[in-house]
Amino acid sequence: MSYSELDRPAQFLKSVGPKRAALLAKLGLLTARDVLYHVPRRYEDASTIRAIGSLEPGMDVTIIGRVVAKGVLPTRKGLRIFQAVVQDRTGLVECSWPGQPFLDRVLRRGDLLLLSGSVRFFHGRQLQPREFTLLAREGEEATEEEGTVFPVYAATEGLTHRQIRTLIAENLDDLLRAVADEEVLPADLLDRAGVPPLVRALESLHRPGSLAEAEQGRRRLAFEELFFLQLLHARARHRAAVERPGIAFERRGTLVSTVYRTLPFSLTTAQKRALVEIGADMLSARRMNRLLQGDVGAGKTVVALFAMLRAVENGYQAALMAPTEILAEQHVRTLRLLLGDAPVQVVLLTGRLGAAARREALARISSGDAGIVVGTHALIQEAVEFHHPGIAIIDEQHRFGVRQRLALAEMGEIAEGESRIHPDVLVMSATPIPRSLALTLYGDLDISVLDERPPGRRPVRTGIRPEGARERVFEFVREQVRLGRQAYVVYPLVEESEKLELKAATEEYRYLREEVFPDLRLGLIHGQMPGEEKDRVMRAFAAGEVDVLVSTTVIEVGIDVANATVMVIEHAERFGLSQLHQLRGRVGRGAEDSYCILVASSPEARERLRIFVSTEDGFRIAQEDMRLRGQGDMFGSRQSGAPAFLFADIERDESLLVLARVEAQRIIEADPELERHPTLRDVLTSRYEERLRLFQAG
């Protein structure tokens, strides 16, 4: 085979004709290359086979044996159990699959099976398989032997994993010879990463001598994916530094030190660490591009304030863009409170301003009188002209589109001599995500993390209740309102769905208002309402004019209502743990005890939710959320078009990800445009640039 052979249609492989090629196409395997990179979804380890005669109750084992008898056994409760008796040269064992009678049509007498599961005592020894693999039909010669590890591939109707395994085994040597010249990673990089070359990696995946060898093959392909993604991020950081130089602020300390001394509280260690990191960025001539990631209530606004003050005391302006008008107004109140008597003008610019107030705000911004400008997307309209912009801060950055974020980041260039410099950029997010996910999503940014809660913040008491306890839950809500408090009741849907038997916000709002709380003041808010209507309801709730706010997740990121002490979340099993954490963050913002009550229907759901109940650490919850939901769901919930990695698992491969980031940075620092690494440059352009563009699309 030559290099081009890998791009030929799969139909030209051995044992593949038009009919089988059509079946391979169902799996997305159109070319020889696709077949080579169709890696196993799991492996069966026949190197640890136990003899059937040696099985004892309590063991967890893997066995190989022939089916000598089978059938479906009905029970008194209507459950149908498929049972098969499996035999090897040492004895017999009964295998049981409750609720899977269809296996009677799948398995035949004489089939050779590999089975893994636990042994229990039930009228004798019985194996309950977690999974099984059909090794051979009666009369067929088994291609797998005890003492080997063999792959199990994703299959499709008409093409079993056994047939795919045989097909790949037949063609593997030719495919490996064809891919021998396609190594794209330098040998010294492979050595530092501790991963094998491409040919050996692919052979280990398809023909492993052990599970450890198969894992090494996967790690090699995973490292390549992670490395090229980080190489793109590193090149983007370098280009941004060269093409858009920043402002070298001076350490004047006039405003920063004054406000620091008058703070009514002490900063946490995490806040101080973030200030050091941000300060170093701002003092350098390199433009700051940093993500400030903090848990609910971790104090991001205070950190952002000191970054803005650094700019203001150097004669520049600071802009803070928030996703909603009501949140922008809250920021203004908070900043003015923290500034005290410091001589800094804070100006608000939103769509709600009247004509006269808007003209006045625009005049103060363009003249430079406004040191700190807070607003919504109104900040990036053409009529807004900053006098001397120094830093752009974007709050809840995931709520803005890419163009909106870039527009604020590029709100003004400043001429200094013959060059032009750009304002520093700080983006903030209150959605904790695991470190590995942050490095993947935001690899082009430096990252500061606030992983501590300010002292004195009261914990939120969290509990799970079954649907049958809903009446007691609502009575508790009534008691809290009687005490002068307010409550949220959150539903996963806006309107009832015929496909999903879930309570919907609009229907339940009518029920709660007319049947449950007819004497209380209720409000409804959801994402399909016009912006002005949502804003009106939230203002009424913040002003204490609404006792119970019925909502969807639109309140996941919102304003602080210190008087709200109860959060009831219906169908809590429908939410990810991180989303539940954001919702819980809406309460516990005042001096009173606060409560988060999860109403869940199934015992299985309640088991998963106990993880959430056990901690208020958003980063720990996010890590568990990614483990439970998988990286694909986590990507999908945050980035439109994000590609699923084929080989990498960013949770288990975090050390590999960090290494990839270090190595990518090392190469870009020495060779920014990869002129001395033409292979890396070509692969980056041909395979990965479009993936990154989709990856970062908001």
pLDDT, tens digit, 9 for 90 and up, residues 546-576: 999 999 887 766 678 889 999 999 988 888 8
How do beta strands 564-570 and 80-88 pair?
A: unpaired
Sorting pLDDT into bands at 50, 70 and 90, what band is 434? confident
As a whole-number percent, the residues of the chain with pLDDT over 90 amount to 45
State the pLDDT at residue 627: 73
pLDDT band at 96 (very low <50, low <70, confident <90, very high): very high
What is the assigned CATH class of domain 254-450?
alpha beta
| Residue 241 pLDDT | 76
User: Is the pLDDT at 435 greater than 80, yes or no?
Assistant: no
Kindly report, residue by residue over 619-678, the tens digit of the pLDDT. Answer: 788 777 777 766 554 444 444 334 457 898 887 888 999 999 999 999 999 999 999 999
Q: Which alpha helices (DSSP H) does 368-469 contain, by range?
A: 402-409, 435-441
Could you read off the pLDDT of 361-417 as tens digits, one per residue? 999 999 999 999 999 888 888 788 899 999 999 987 655 555 655 666 666 555 454
Domain 460-629 is in which class? Answer: alpha beta
CA distance 106 to 550: 50
> What pLDDT, on a 0 to 100 scale, did the predictor assign at position 377?
84
pLDDT of residue 205: 94
- Residue in the block written with tokens 């008008």: 325
Alpha helices in 389-457 (DSSP H): 402-409, 435-441
Query: Alpha-carbon torsion 91, 94, 100, 104, what sign?
Result: positive
**Cα Rg of the chain (Å, integer):** 31
Fold of 50-146: OB fold (Dihydrolipoamide Acetyltransferase, E2P) (2.40.50)
Q: Give 269: exposed, middle or buried? Use CB within 10 Å, 0-12, 13-18, 19+.
A: exposed
More confident residue, 496 or 633: 496
Please determine, for residue 142, whether its predicted confidence score (pLDDT) is greater than 50. yes
pLDDT value of residue 202: 96
End-to-end CA distance of the chain: 43
pLDDT tens string 443-471: 778 889 888 877 767 789 999 998 889 99
Tally Cβ neighbours within 10 Å of residue 488: 24
In this prediction, residue 642 carries a pLDDT of 42
Of the chain, the percentage scoring pLDDT greater than 70 comes to: 89
Quickly state the pLDDT bin for 121 (edges 50, 70, 90). confident
If we measure between CA atoms, which residue out of 391, 390, 361 comes closest to residue 378? 361
Same fold for the domain at 50-146 and the one at 254-450?
no
143: confidence class by pLDDT, cuts 50, 70, 90 = low
Domains of the chain, residue spans: 1-47+149-180, 50-146, 183-243+678-698, 254-450, 460-629
In the numeric block, which tokens belong to residue 358? Answer: 């808007």
271 pLDDT tier (thresholds 50, 70, 90): very high
The two tokens of residue 136 are: 């051979």
- The CA distance from 92 to 86, in Å, is 6
| Number of other CB atoms surrounding residue 13 within 10 Å | 24
Q: Which whole-number Å values give the CA distances from 617 to 608, 638, 646, in the listed order?
A: 16, 20, 30
At 621 the pLDDT is: 81
580 Cβ contact partners less than 8 Å away, ≥ 6 residues apart:
569, 572, 598, 609, 612, 621
Which pLDDT score, from 0 to 100, does residue 637 have?
40
Sequence length of the chain is 698
Greatest mean pLDDT among 142-151, 157-166, 668-677 lies in 668-677
Average pLDDT of every residue of the chain: 85
264: tokens are 């009514």
- For the ranges 5-14, 369-378, 438-447, the lowest mean pLDDT is seen at 438-447
Q: Phi and psi at residue 688, in whole multiples of 5°?
A: -115, -25
pTM for this predicted structure: 0.71
- In this prediction, residue 502 carries a pLDDT of 64
